[in-house]
Amino acid sequence: MKKMNDTETISISEDLTSKDITKFEEITSDDVISTLGLTIKKDENNKLVSFVCMLSAFTDSSQFNISFNAPSSTGKSYIPIELSKIFPEEDVMELGYCSPTSFFHDAASYDEEEDIFIIDLSRKILIFLDQPHNLLLERLRPLLSHDKKEIQLKITDKSQGLGLKTKNVLVKGYPSVIFCSAGLKIDEQEGTRFILLSPETSQEKIRDAIQEKIKKDSDNQHYEQWLESDLPRKLLKERIEAIRNENIGDIKIINTDLIKDKFFNGKKVLKPRHQRDIGRLISLVKGFALLNVWFREREGNTIIANEDDIKEACFLWDKISESQEHNLPPFVYDIYKDVIVPAFEEKNISEDEDEPKGLTRKEINSKYFKEYGRMIDDWQLRQQIIPMLETAGLIYQEQDSKDKRKMLIFISEQVINSTDS
């Protein structure tokens, strides 16, 4: 943990004592990762980003959104569910299957005088578990992108004897949203509004997760008691509640040059989505500042992020930004890096050939099995993964000249050239 000089310690301690929060110390991302690792094995970057995302709910407008996209049984909803247990229960909304209309029916209160249903999502954490489609997200686009703090919607309601009736709905505030879906294909408009994540599926992570499940399910009561008695976890829960009670409105960043240098580094061509990505990096900076709210300069209900917060955020962004650049979930991008590229290089190892030889889906699946020990569903490879990689400009398809019924997959020339250079 970071050390402070004697003058700083005395000044801060006096301030903390008046608020009865002397138990808290300045902490780093490593401290958070260590505490969360009690129940969430590996997945360091995923659990840290998710934690900061949920913590950012306790600001006026610094929230950001996460989408976990991965096949079934990979643990995409496990991280947000586990994290929600250390946040105040009243601030978390966990939703299983939820149609777009039912969300607005169930979450709203009715203002009879204005004849309008009101949903206040200010400082709330929304976790959508295993959602089959993105229709609800489409209706929440203005909130997700922070275009408007209040949006008015009209939804239809089927009532007995009256047929379809229109309802007016007012949605207020910016929530932190975590969306979990087994579907890999993402609408570009939704993709640019989320940080895209996928759980790790390494053998080491799976082994640790199995051991943790055995420990938990063999004696659940003892396991819960063990969790509750863990001092760092207990302090983190209390810290989160204390941060919420600080009622922070805004977080300022003064040293913007450092952010510029970090963000533009290595970017030869800027893309439209970078305008949203820089917003996410800034939100991460603010999240780390909020984590140490009592150790930051303060002006009323506004705090000022320091250089440590910027460095923490930039380091984390570097870890997750590669797949974000291509608007791809890490699960899909890893298939490209770990499966398709090596398989393509192996097939084209000979320099005697004038034209490159493309891959069949069968060859990709075979390489995937060697790498991960399991198969990909052919429909998922054909309908989701390959089209997404093609849209990102990483691959292209051509008909097999020997069999017109087959499509062959090639690595894009610009990707090969950029790698060579």
Residues 290 and 305: their CA atoms lie apart, in Å, by 8
Which residues are within 8 A (CB) of 148 and not within 5 positions of it... i.e. 6 or more apart?
142
Q: What is the pTM (predicted TM-score) of this model?
A: 0.85
For residues 101 and 82, what is the distance between their CA atoms, to the nearest angstrom? 28
Q: What is the 3-state secondary structure (H, E, C) of 30-78?
A: HHHHHHHCCCCCCCHHHHHHHHHHHHHHHCCCCCCEEEEECCCCCCCCH
Asked if residues 341 and 395 have their Cβ atoms less than 8 Å apart, the reply is: no
Sequence letter at residue 294: W
The per-residue pLDDT for 4 is 44
d(CA 299, CA 235): 26
**Domain range 6-95+177-321, CATH class:** alpha beta
Q: What is the pLDDT of residue 17?
A: 39
| Phi-psi domain of 179 (left: phi exceeds 0; alpha: psi -120 through 50; beta: other) | beta
Q: Name every residue whose Cβ is closer than 8 Å to that of residue 398 and which is 6 or more positions away in sequence.
A: 358, 407, 408, 410
d(CA 27, CA 1): 6
By C-alpha distance, which of 318, 312, 246 is closest to 31? 312
Residue 327 gets the label, from left (phi > 0), alpha (psi -120 to 50) or beta, of left
- Assign 88 to helix, strand or coil: coil
Q: In this predicted model, what pLDDT tens digit does every residue of 178-209 receive, in sequence order?
A: 988 877 677 666 667 889 999 988 888 888 88
C-alpha–C-alpha distance, residues 232 and 37, integer Å? 11
49-to-167, 237, 312, 316, 389 alpha-carbon distances in Å? 37, 17, 11, 8, 24
Q: What is the mean pLDDT of each run of 10 residues along the chain (421 residues)?
A: 42 44 91 94 94 95 89 84 94 81 73 83 89 71 81 72 72 89 70 86 85 89 90 95 94 90 78 80 95 94 94 93 88 94 90 82 93 87 92 91 86 60 43
Question: Any idea which residue has 């080491």 for tokens?
Answer: 204
Average pLDDT of the chain?
Answer: 84
Residues ≥6 apart with Cβ < 8 Å to 181:
67, 68, 69, 76, 130, 131, 132, 134
Q: Which residues contact 223 (CB under 8 A, 6 or more apart)?
A: 215, 216
pLDDT at position 360: 93
Is residue 263 within 8 Å of residue 275, measured between CB atoms? no
- Separation CA 169–CA 108 (nearest Å): 8
Q: How far apart are CA 70 and CA 267, in angstroms?
A: 28
Tell me, what DSSP letter sits at residue 304? E
Whole-angstrom distance, CA of residue 23 vs CA of residue 3: 16
Give dist(CA 252, CA 262) in Å, integer. 18
Do 288 and 305 meet the contact criterion of CB atoms below 8 Å apart? yes
Angle between helices 203-218 and 220-228 (to 10 degrees): 110
* Distance from C-alpha of 293 to C-alpha of 287, rounded to nearest angstrom: 10
Contact 404, 359 (CB under 8 A): no
pLDDT score recorded for residue 61: 87
| 65 phi/psi in degrees, rounded to 5 | -125, 150
Domain 330-420 has CATH 2.130.10.10: no
Cβ within 8 Å of residue 85, ≥6 positions away: none
Give the residue extent of every domain in the chain.
Answer: 6-95+177-321, 330-420
